[in-house]
Amino acid sequence: MARREPVSDSGSDSEDSSLSDSELQEAFLRGELKPGLNVVLEERPKRRNDAEGLKQCLSEFRQQLAWVERLDVTLGQVVDPVSQSASNKDTVDPENDFQREMSFYRQAQAAVLEALPRLRKLQVPTRRPDDYFAEMAKSDQQMQKIRQKLKSKQEAMERSEKAKQLRAMRKYGKKVQTEILQRRQKEKKNILNAVKKYQKGLSDKLDFLDEEQTSSQGHKKGNANQRTKKGPNAKRRYKNQKFGFGGKKKGSKWNTKESFNDVSSFSSKVAHNKGPGKAGKGGKKALNKRPGKRARQKMKSRAR
C-alpha cells in the first residue's frame, strides 16, 4: 500500500500549498498541476511480537539465584472470597476503580499467604522483635523545631481567640451602653412632652412627676448602695473633714431673731473683763504672763 504526501517547493509550489481543496481540484482539471509534487513512500515495516527472541534474551541475562534472594511470587487466578469466583480479566472491569484496586489487593494478599510459609520453612524471621530500635527519619533537632513551630502556632491561635472574645465583649458593652442612653433619652423626651401638654392645658395629669420621683429615688438608692459598698476615697474624706459636707457657707455666723433674743449664755464678768485671769486694761491674762528678767535671775539664784 503506497501513500502520497505533498512536497512543498519554492515559488508557485508554496502558492499551490496555500490553496484550498476546491481550488486544487479546479487546477487539476485545468492541468495546471505539474509533475513531481507528490512522492511515493515505501510501506513502513510492521511491528511483531517476537516472544521466542525475548525469552532467549531473558535466559541470557538471568542470574540463577536462590528464591530467598529474589523473593518473587507468581500467581495465577485469585479467587474472590465473597463470590467464590476467579478474578480474571473477564470478571474485573478495568474502568471500575473499586474492582481494579480490590483485584490488586486480593492478588497481593494471596502472594503474602503463599510466601510466608516458604519463609518460615527457610527459617527467615518475618516478625519484628519487641526490642527492635528503628532510627527515625528525622533528627531530634528537626523534631524539636517542628514541635516549637506547632507550639507557636497554637499560641498564636489562642491569642487570636482571646482578641476575638475581647472585641466581642467590647461590642456587647457598647451595645448595652447605647441601649441605656437611648432609654434615658426616650424617658426624658416623654417627660418633656408630658410637661408641654400640661402647660398647654391638654392634660391635667401629673403622673410623670411621680415617675420622675420614683426614677430619681431609684438612682439615689443605687448611688447610695454604691457609696456604701465602695466609700469615698482618701482625698474626698480629707476635703469633707476640712470644708464640711457642702451647704451654705456665707452668713453662717450671722445673728437671727432667735439667737438675738437668747441671753442664756450672757455673763457680766466675761463681758466687762472681770472674770478670773483678767487684769489690766486690755484684759490680758495674768496667769500666763512671763516673769521679768530680774525675777528670773532671782529664781535661778535661789535654785542654786
**Are 122 and 68 spatial neighbours (Cβ–Cβ below 8 Å)?**
yes
The C-alpha atoms of residue 62 and residue 81 are separated, in whole angstroms, by 36
CA distance 113 to 55: 29
State whether 167 and 61 are in the same domain: no
As a whole number of angstroms, the distance between CA 143 and CA 136 comes to 10
Based on the domain organization, do 227 and 95 belong to the same domain?
Answer: no
pLDDT beyond 60 at 269: yes
Among 87, 122, 157, where does a domain finish? 122
CA distance 66 to 233: 98
**Do 155 and 283 have their domain in common?**
yes
Query: Same domain for 216 and 88?
Result: no
Phi, psi for 225 (deg, rounded to 5): -65, -40
Which residues form the domain of 195?
Answer: 140-301
The reply to whether 275 falls in a domain is yes
Same domain, 152 and 247: yes
How far, rounded to the nearest angstrom, does the alpha carbon of residue 189 sit from its chain's CA centroid? Answer: 43
292/299 Cα distance (integer angstroms)? 11
- What are the angstrom distances between the C-alpha of 285 and each of 62, 70, 95, 109, 282? 142, 134, 130, 127, 9
Say what the pTM is: 0.28
- 103 with 245, same domain: the answer is no
Q: How many domains does the chain have?
A: 2
Query: Of 122, 149, 178, which closes a domain?
Result: 122
Position 43 pLDDT exceeds 80: no
Alpha helices in the chain (DSSP H): 12-17, 21-30, 51-61, 67-70, 97-121, 140-200, 207-230, 234-243, 257-261, 268-271, 293-303
Convert the pLDDT of each residue in 73-128 to its tens digit.
888 777 776 665 544 445 778 888 888 888 888 889 999 999 999 999 999 988 88
Assess whether 100 and 167 both reside in one domain. Answer: no
CA distance 38 to 87: 54
Query: 127 in a domain, yes or no?
Result: no
Any domain includes 42: yes
Q: Is residue 201 domain-shared with residue 117, that is, in the same domain?
A: no
Quote the CA–CA distance of 118 and 72 in Å, as a whole number.
12
Whole-angstrom distance, CA of residue 21 vs CA of residue 29:
12
The predicted pLDDT at position 152 comes to: 92
Q: Are residues 90 and 148 in the same domain?
A: no
Residue located via cell numbers 486480593: 106
Domain-ending residue, one of 94, 122, 150: 122
Query: What does the pLDDT look like over 175-229, one tens digit per residue?
Result: 888 889 988 888 888 888 888 887 777 776 667 666 656 665 555 555 555 555 5
Domain-located, residue 177: yes
**Per the domain annotation, does 134 fall within a domain?**
no
Answer yes or no: do 92 and 164 share one domain. no
pLDDT tens by residue, 51-64:
999 999 888 887 78
> Is residue 244 assigned to a domain?
yes
Percent of the chain predicted with pLDDT > 70 = 71
Same domain for 235 and 103, yes or no, is: no
24, pLDDT greater than 60: yes
Do 172 and 289 lie in one domain? The reply is yes
Residue 3 lies in a domain: no
Inside any domain, residue 14: no
